Structure 1
Amino acid sequence: MSVIDVRRSHALDQAQARDAAETLARDLSRQFDVHYRWEGDVMTFKRSGVKGALNITPAELHVRLELGLMLRPFKSRIEQEIHAQLDQIIAG
């Protein structure tokens, strides 16, 4: 199992952080066919070959994905997209 683990500090309020997470999730869902759902302030991701979560705290967004064998070749692309989206959202 290959892991993507991204932590990003933020100064957003809880509603802004949740909106940012929702934007990221919609984009990942569209690009990589990842399904997600909210469980409190934790968004869980799942599809065949990938599972993970995005946890929102008052100071940090933490994305952790576990990629199965078939998605390992896309690890770099997925990780780059997460970084790009978080940079855009937090700077927003």
Structure 2
Amino acid sequence: MPDIHIQRDHDLGLAQARKLAFRWAELAQEKFDMACSYEEGKAADLVTFSRSGVNGELKVTGDAFVLDARLGFLLGVFKERIETEIVKNLDELLAQEEPLKALDVAVARHGAKAAKTAAKKPAAKKKA
């Protein structure tokens, strides 16, 4: 059983989710000195990550991110803090992706001129 289990549903599709997962892996390597590997699949991708005291995986699908991590004895003491940081980082990346997705939709529906107009408008806030 993992020590940390986080699931975030989304409607990005696999191609956009894959880009976000690549960015998440880059941040994990830069910020937390994680060793990350990325395996692409047809229906889902898998990011495995590890460093001293922690290892886990991030499953990436067209409609969800599922992260499971196992903490060593020493890091287990900081479980709540580590989980909070992971949630924060993932949620920030998802929030950044929403305006990009809106631009993709605008281009597909109305062309590049409409996308430029949409980019100038502030992003709508999500209702909780």
The 5-angstrom pairing of residues 1-92 of structure 1 reads 3-40=3-40, 41-92=45-96
Q: CA RMSD in A?
A: 1.8
Structure with bigger helix share is 2
How far apart are the structure 1 equivalents of 2:9 and 2:20? 13
Residues 8-36 of structure 1: per-residue CA shift (max 9 Å, x gap): 00111222211211222222222322110
TM-score under structure 2 length normalisation: 0.64
Code of the residue aligned with 1:55 in structure 2: it is: K
Q: How many residues align?
A: 92
CA distance in 2: counterparts of 1:17 and 1:2, whole angstroms: 23
CA contact (8 A) 1:12 1:90 kept: no
Compare CA radii of gyration and give the structure with the larger one: 2
Q: Secondary structure at the match of 2:81?
A: helix
- Deviation above 3 Å: which 4+ runs of structure 1? none
TM-score by length of 1: 0.85
* Partner Cα distance (2:29, 2:86) in 1: 12
More strand by share: 1
Letter in 1 for 2:49: F
For structure 1, the 5+ residue unaligned runs are none
